[in-house]
Amino acid sequence: GFSEILYAFSSVSQNNGSAFAGLSSNLFYNLATTVCMFVGRYAIAIITLALAGAFVTKKIVPASEGTLQDHRPLFIIWVVFTILIIGALSFLPALSLGPVVEFLIQVGRGVIHV
């Protein structure tokens, strides 16, 4: 169902695409996962290289009181916390929605009576 399709698209864009074996291979899924694979791999690499090029051309600013010090434990805690929050907000709503949608489909078909 929904969870399998979500996992398949996540797998082809950021992994090796092993989850695609569970889907029925038709023209839509073949083309959609191909586009997702190119965008998920090459577009991200191009954006990362452009960002690195922009960082290379920046001038070095001497440290002062207003400079964020990145070698302190508080900075590390905030970076890890931000990564975890963004990751959770990206994947948890869709992953929790999958079982809910499948339950509602079964209720609609009359398989489960509420």
How confident is the model over 2-42, as pLDDT tens digits?
A: 777 877 888 888 777 666 666 767 788 888 888 888 888 88
Reported as a single tens digit per residue, the pLDDT across 44-55 is: 899 999 999 999
Reported as a single tens digit per residue, the pLDDT across 51-86 is: 999 999 988 888 888 777 888 898 999 999 999 998
Please state the rounded mean pLDDT for residues 85-101. 79
Q: CA 45, CA 72: separation in Å to the nearest integer? A: 29
Q: CA 90, CA 54: separation in Å to the nearest integer? A: 27
- What pLDDT score was predicted for residue 19? 64
- What pLDDT score was predicted for residue 22? 65
